[in-house]
């Protein structure tokens, strides 16, 4: 029996099991961290033959890190599956940033098909990533690896060295981070002086690029895009920590920005090795009409973004990835379910939740709240540490785009005894 092992719920929630052509001869095995297990839906439990909850691979993880699974525990599970007489063919998949390198190591350990560590590393190490891109002529921010010893020895001198190299403001972020986790925007010496002396992981400093953010999203096979789409961000994702709602809309293919940005994304993937499967690249379009690379991951968009893409384009993207990676065929996405769609992520601010506020828009929408009135919550630390997500859809794209712009000042939560929204 074809055995599909999936690590983490992230990205996997958009999979359409009902569209499988040969579901009877395929079994799904889920491996989830102790923190991620609460995200398994009943729908997934209905078709997962086995659900394995194992320890997190990191002590005291942030919300963005908590889905990482323990390598040794995952090894033991896969070893048992390979000994199972019911397993005639096994493949391993993850659409979660935190588990991409781990999955690559497991494939190498067991001789399974799929990308190995060296193929995924340029998509996880943001310094190696930009080194390769700049060498290939792709415009990327000026950057450098953050020297924690130099920063601790003489903070003022090191601050001057960074600003001489990349200017002010600049960005400090983890080399292997995701979801804007642990990111600092440094606009002054006071901002820099407030950065913790011990950061707990490797960091980089990076030129701050002023412009509109976009993402370019691919599903690829043999260094060729089988699917490609572009989304426009309403705000820079780091602004979510400052209370801004993170909304991005899928552009229609006829938009003149799309072809240009897809070509830019393909040039970046070509420089990095272009692994099979999903890729999610973020870039800036500046006021000078320059495209500037931000970062790229060998996975789908996170949170509600993937569900919005599937509805907008009428493509079961996770199913498509599994077909390319494991030969798992699916029926086409139902035509009557396709509709223009975008998603949003609601920030958390410190305080007591008073009221949950729905958006005043003309399109239909659905809200997935993680908080409720009376909850005492802290400031969100990343996109993963949010108050909920939402989807907005309409058969009229112009109306949908108007709603996208209306959400620039949307405050989904009012607070008492702390923050006011």
Structure tokens belonging to residue 303: 């949170």
Per-residue confidence (pLDDT) for residue 380, from 0 to 100:
79
Per-residue confidence (pLDDT) for residue 413, from 0 to 100:
95
pLDDT tens-digit readout, 71-98: 999 999 999 999 999 899 999 999 999 9
pLDDT tens-digit readout, 371-415: 999 999 988 777 778 899 999 999 999 999 999 999 998 999 999
Q: How many other C-beta atoms are found inside a 10 Å radius of the C-beta of residue 363?
A: 22
CA-nearest of 36, 11, 9, 19 to 277 is: 11
Q: What is the pTM of this model?
A: 0.91
Lowest mean pLDDT among 206-220, 241-255, 307-321: 241-255
Return the higher-pLDDT residue of 240 and 167: 167
Mean pLDDT of the chain: 93
pLDDT(340) > 80: yes
Per-residue confidence (pLDDT) for residue 241, from 0 to 100:
67
What residues form DSSP beta bridges with 225? 220
Contact 130, 293 (CB under 8 A): yes
Average pLDDT over residues 29-54: 96
Per-residue confidence (pLDDT) for residue 420, from 0 to 100:
43
Complete domains list, the chain, with CATH: 2-114 (3.40.50.20), 142-207 (3.30.1490.20), 212-416 (3.30.470.20)
pLDDT(419) > 80: no
pLDDT(117) > 60: yes
**What's the burial of 190, exposed, middle or buried (CB within 10 Å: 0-12/13-18/19+)?**
exposed
pLDDT(421) > 70: no
Question: How many residues in total does the chain contain?
Answer: 421
pLDDT band at 318 (very low <50, low <70, confident <90, very high): very high
Start-to-end Cα distance in the chain: 53
Q: Which residues contact 108 (CB under 8 A, 6 or more apart)?
A: 116, 117
pLDDT tens-digit readout, 258-281: 999 999 999 999 999 999 999 999
Per-residue confidence (pLDDT) for residue 101, from 0 to 100:
97
């Amino acid at each position: 029996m074809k055995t599909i092992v999936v690590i983490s719920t992230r990205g996997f929630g958009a999979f359409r099991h009902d569209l499988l052509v040969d579901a009877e001869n395929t079994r799904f095995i889920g491996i989830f961290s102790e923190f991620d297990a609460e995200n398994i839906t009943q729908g997934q439990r209905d078709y997962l033959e086995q659900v394995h909850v194992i320890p997190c691979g990191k002590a005291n993880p942030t919300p963005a890190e908590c889905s990482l699974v323990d390598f040794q525990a995952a090894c033991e599970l896969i070893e048992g599956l390979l000994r199972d007489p019911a397993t005639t063919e096994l493949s391993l998949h993850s659409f979660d940033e935190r588990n991409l390198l781990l999955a690559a190591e497991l494939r190498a350990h067991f001789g399974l098909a799929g990308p190995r560590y060296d193929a995924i590393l340029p998509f996880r190490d943001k310094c190696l990533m930009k080194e390769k891109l700049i060498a290939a002529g792709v415009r990327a921010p000026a950057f450098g690896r953050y020297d924690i010893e130099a920063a601790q020895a003489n903070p003022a001198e090191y601050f001057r060295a960074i600003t001489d190299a990349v200017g002010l403001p600049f960005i400090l972020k983890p080399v292997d981070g995701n979801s804007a986790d642990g990111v600092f925007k440094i606009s002054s010496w006071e901002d820099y002086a407030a950065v913790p002396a011990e950061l707990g992981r490797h960091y980089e400093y990076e030129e701050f690029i002023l412009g509109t953010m976009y993402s370019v999203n691919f599903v690829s096979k043999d260094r060729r895009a089988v699917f490609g789409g572009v989304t426009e961000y309403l705000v820079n994702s780091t602004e979510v920590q400052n209370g801004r709602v993170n909304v991005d809309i899928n552009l229609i293919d006829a938009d003149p920005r799309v072809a240009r940005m897809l070509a830019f994304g393909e040039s970046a993937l070509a420089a990095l090795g272009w692994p099979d499967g999903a890729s999610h690249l973020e870039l800036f379009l500046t006021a000078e009409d320059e495209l500037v690379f931000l970062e790229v991951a060998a996975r789908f968009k996170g949170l509600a973004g993937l569900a919005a893409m599937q509805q907008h384009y009428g493509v079961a993207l996770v199913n498509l990835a599994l077909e390319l990676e494991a030969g798992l065929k699916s029926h086409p996405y139902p035509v009557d379910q396709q509709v223009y769609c975008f998603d949003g992520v609601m920030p958390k601010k410190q305080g007591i939740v008073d009221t949950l506020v729905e958006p005043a828009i003309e399109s239909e929408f659905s809200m997935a709240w993680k908080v409720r009135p009376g909850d005492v919550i802290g400031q969100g630390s990343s996109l993963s540490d949010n108050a909920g997500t939402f989807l907005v859809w309409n058969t009229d794209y112009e109306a949908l785009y108007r709603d996208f712009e209306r959400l620039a000042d949307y405050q989904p939560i009012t607070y008492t005894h702390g923050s006011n929204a």
